A and B are shown apart, each in its own frame.
Chain A
Amino acid sequence: MRSWGAIIKRIATVLPVVFGVLCLTFALLHMVPGDPVDVMLGESASPADRFALKAQLGLDQPVLAQFGHYLLNLLHGDFGVSIHTQTPITQLLVQAYPATLILAVTALSIGLLVGIPLGIWSALKAGHWQDVMVTLVSIRLAAMPAFWLGPVLMLVFAVWLGWLPVSGMDNAASILLPALTLGLGLSAILTRMTRTSLLEVLNEDYIRTARAKGLSERRVLLKHALRAALLPMVTIVGLQMGSLLAGAVITETIFSWNGIGRLLVDSIEKRDYPVTQACVLVVALSYVLINQATDIAYRWLDPRTRNAR
C-alpha cells in the first residue's frame, strides 16, 4: 500500500515539471525573433491584413491571455492546428510519435543485445586482448556522431552491399539503418557500463563466498554477479530511452524518418508555434514519465531503495 502511495506521489511530481516546461516553451517562443504572421503573409501584406490574421490566430491578445487560452484548449485535449498546413496537430503527433517510438525501441534493443553481452565478455576477459579490442571499438563507436555514422552505414549497407534501403519509411527494412545508427552508439555506452559494473561486483565479498562454496563459475556469474551488475543499467537504459523518445533529430533527418524530432525542427524553422509547443510538451512528458518509470522499476528491482527517503 505504501509502495502504491509512493508511486502515485512520484507521478504527481510530473505535473509541475510539465507545467514548467509549458511556461518556459511558451515564453521562449514569444521571445525569439520571427513572427508567424510575417512567415504566412510575406512582407507586402497590408497592415489591415496583418492585423486580421493576428486576430484570427489570437496573436493580438496579451501574451498571458494567449497562454491562458492555450492551457484551456489543452485541458480539452485540443492542441490546435498547424499555422502552415492547417493540419490538426493531434493528427501530426499521431503520425510522428509512433514512428519515433518504434525507432527508439528498435535502437534500444540493438543497444541492449550488442552492448550487454559485449560488456560481460569484456569483463570476463579483463586485461586480455579481447578486452582491449572491445574497449577500442566501443570507445570509437561512442565517439562517432550520428551525422557521420549514418551516411557511412548507408554507403556500406545500402550502396555497396545493396542489402538495405538508403532512407525513407517504405518497408520494414527501412528501420534497420537508423536504428543501427542510434543503437551502436548506445551499445558502446552499455558495453562500458556493463564491464565496469560487472568487474566491481566480481570483486565483492559475496562473490568470493559463492566461489568458496564451490558454485560453478557460470552459476556465480548468472545467478549472483550479473543480477547485481545489471541494476545500474536500468537507470542508463531509462535515461537513454527518454532521450530517444525526445526525438533523435539528426538521425530522423538524415534517414527521412518522419518522427517527432523532425517535426519539431521543421516547426521551429517555420515558426509554427502551436506545433513546436505540442512537440515540446510530448517530448517533455515522455522524458519525465520514462524517468519516473525507471525510478519505480528500480524500487521494484532493488528492495534496499524502497525505504530510501
Chain B
Amino acid sequence: MGGLVVLLAACQPDSGPRALVFAVAQAPVNLDPRYATDAASERVNRLLYQRLVEFDQASRVVPGLATWDMPDSRHYRFHLHQPAASFHHGKPVTATDVKATYDSLLQLKNSPHTAEFRHVTQIVTPDPQTIEFALSEPDPHFPARLIIGILPADQIAAHHDFAHVPIGSGPFKFERWHSRLQLVRRSDGLPVYFDEVKDPNVRVLKLKRGEADLLQGDLPPELVKYLQKQTGITVQTGIGVNYSYLGLNTQAVFLRDVRVRRAIAHAIDTQAIIDKVMVGHSRQANAILPPEHYAGNAGLQAYGYQPALARQLLESAGVKLPLTLVYKTSTDAQRVRLATILQAQMQAAGIDLQIKSLDWGTFFADVQTGNFQMYGLTWVGIKTPEIYSKVFGSNNRPPAGFNRGGYRDVVLDDLLQKEEWPAITRRIHAQLPYIPLWYEGQFAAYRATIAAYQPAPDGNWDDLAQVVFHPAR
C-alpha cells in the first residue's frame, strides 16, 4: 500500500492539492469560442465559458445564462439570471458582455461561426440584464444558435488573446498552457491537466501506470475490453448520439438509383458489427438524430442484412455484378478496420468495395468537394433538426450547406420547408442519400481514485465539473 501511495504521489504533475490528469487524443487548438471548431476545443470551452442557452436530454433549447421571450418573429429578448454569474477575473456577466461577444463575432472575417448570425441586424441592451437581438428574417431556431461562450467586454475591447489565455465564467478557470493545458475547478481548486497522447495504446498504458486518471472515448473496442478486465480501473459506458453513416454521391452512375442505395443498405450487417467490434451501448441508427431527440423518429425500421435481396435490387437496377464502388475513408485504424468488414460483407451481395484510405486533409477535401462515390464519417454533437435541411436540401450544396452528395428531392424539400420531422425522417430513410450505421456508445475509463464519472452522450467533458475522488484513497 505504501508503495502504491508513493507511486501515485510520484505521478502527480505538481505538488500541492490532488490533481486530475485527463489523457486526451487531441489537444484543443483554439480556446476562443468565436473561432473554435475542433471537438477538443469546443469541449474545453464548455468548461471555461457559459452560454446563453443549453440543451436538455431531448435536445430542446433551455435557458443557460438567460431566459428569453419573443416580442415578434424577428426579435428575441434575453434576460440574464440574477444573481449574475461572474467571470474568472472577478467582474459580473452583464448584457454588455453578451452584446460585445456577439458584436465582435459579427465583425470577424475569419470565424467559422459568423455565417450563423448573418441575419442579425442589431443587438441592443436596454438594461444591464437584458439583450435584444433584431433579425432580418424570422428564425425559429435562433435561440439554439446562441451557444457561443460569453466573453468579458472589457477584455474584448483590450484585444485579449482568448485563444491562448481564455477568460470566461464557466466552472473551470484557465491556469497555464505550455506543453499541457491546465485548468482549475473554481468550486474547490482542483487542478485538471489535459495531456495530449495521440496513440491509444499509450493512453491505456498511462492510465494503467497511474500517469493519467481518466480517459474518455477514442479507443478501439479491444482496448476498452482490455481495460474492463483490469483491476483498479473502472469503465463506465453510456449511450451515444453521434451518428455514423455512409455518404453516397447521388449524382454518380448507379448511385443515383434508389434501388442501388437500398441494395447497399441490405448488404451491410450493422448489428453484427455493433455486436462484435463496437463498444457497449452502441446502437443501430436509422436517422441522424436519435429516437430520444424531440425531432427523432423511433418508428423507423432498420434495413436488415439480406445479401440475396441486395443482389436482386442491383440486378433490377440493371447493374452488372459485381458492382465496383470506391469507398473513401481516413487512415484511422478503426475506420480502416470497419472498411474491411464492410468490404467482406458487401462481397456476398455482389458489391466489390475498393477501399481508399487517405490522410485526413485529403480525405475531407474530397468529401467537401464531392469527389467520392462513397465515404464514411460521423456527425458529432448535432442538436437541431436543421441538420436535415443543411445535409439533404437541394439548395444546400457546399458552400451553402453540407449536401456533399448532391442529393436532389423536391418532395423532401417541401417537407423541409414545413419542418415535418416524422415525415422528413421517413422520406430520408426510404430514399437513403446516407446509409445509416450506428450511434457509437460512449465510455470513460478511470482509476479507482475517482468515485464516479459519467460520459455524456455527445462525448463532452462536462462531468469534470462534478467528478469527485474517493476520500479514503
Residues of A within 8 A of B (CB): 32-35, 38-47, 49-50, 52-53, 56, 84-87, 151, 154-155, 158-159, 162, 165-170, 253-256, 258, 268-271
Contact = CB atoms under 8 A, between A and B. Distances in A.
- Pairs A-B, 6 closest by C-beta atoms: A33-B365, A34-B361, A34-B365, A52-B109, A42-B112, A43-B398
Given A43-B402, A151-B201, A271 B163 contact: no
Max count, chain B CB within 10 A of own CB: residue among A84, A87, A253: A84
A40 B361 contact: no
B364 interface: yes
A129 to B, nearest CB: 36
User: Among the interface residues B211, B361, B400, which one has the most CB atoms of the partner chain A within 10 A?
Assistant: B361
Nearest to A270: B361
A35 B284 CA distance: 34
Given A56-B109, A162-B209, A269-B359, A151 B202 contact: yes
Contacts of B1: none
A167 B29 CA distance: 21
A85 B37 CA distance: 12
A34 B360 CA distance: 9
Contacts of A165: 209, 211
Given A33-B366, A38-B365, 15 more contacts: A33-B362, A33-B369, A40-B37, A41-B115, A42-B37, A43-B399, A46-B399, A53-B110, A159-B209, A162-B7, A166-B202, A166-B209, A167-B197, A168-B211, A254-B198
By secondary structure, the A interface counts as loop
B361 A268 contact: yes
Contacts of A159: 205, 208-209
Interface string B24-57: 0000011000000100000000000000000000
Contacts of A162: 7, 209
B372 to A, nearest CB: 12
Given A45-B115, A256-B195, A256-B197, A53 B398 contact: no
Contacts, number: 119
Given A34-B361, A46-B115, A155 B205 contact: yes
24 contacts: A33-B371, A38-B365, A38-B368, A41-B110, A41-B111, A41-B115, A42-B115, A43-B399, A44-B398, A44-B401, A45-B112, A45-B399, A46-B115, A46-B118, A47-B399, A151-B201, A158-B209, A159-B209, A166-B202, A168-B197, A254-B198, A254-B202, A255-B202, A256-B196
Interface centre among B205, B359, B366, B399 (most CB of A within 10 A): B399
Interface residues of B, number: 46
A77 B208 CA distance: 45
A24 to B, nearest CB: 18
Nearest to B108: A49
Nearest to A168: B195
Nearest to B208: A159
A43 B180 CA distance: 30
B202 A271 contact: no
B206 interface: yes
B195 A254 contact: no
B15 interface: no
A59 B202 CA distance: 39
Nearest to B397: A43
Nearest to A82: B29
Contacts of B365: 33-35, 38
Contacts of B116: 44
Interface in B197-236: 197-199, 201-202, 205-206, 208-209, 211
A169 B209 contact: no
B361 A49 contact: no
Contacts of A47: 399
Contacts of B118: 46
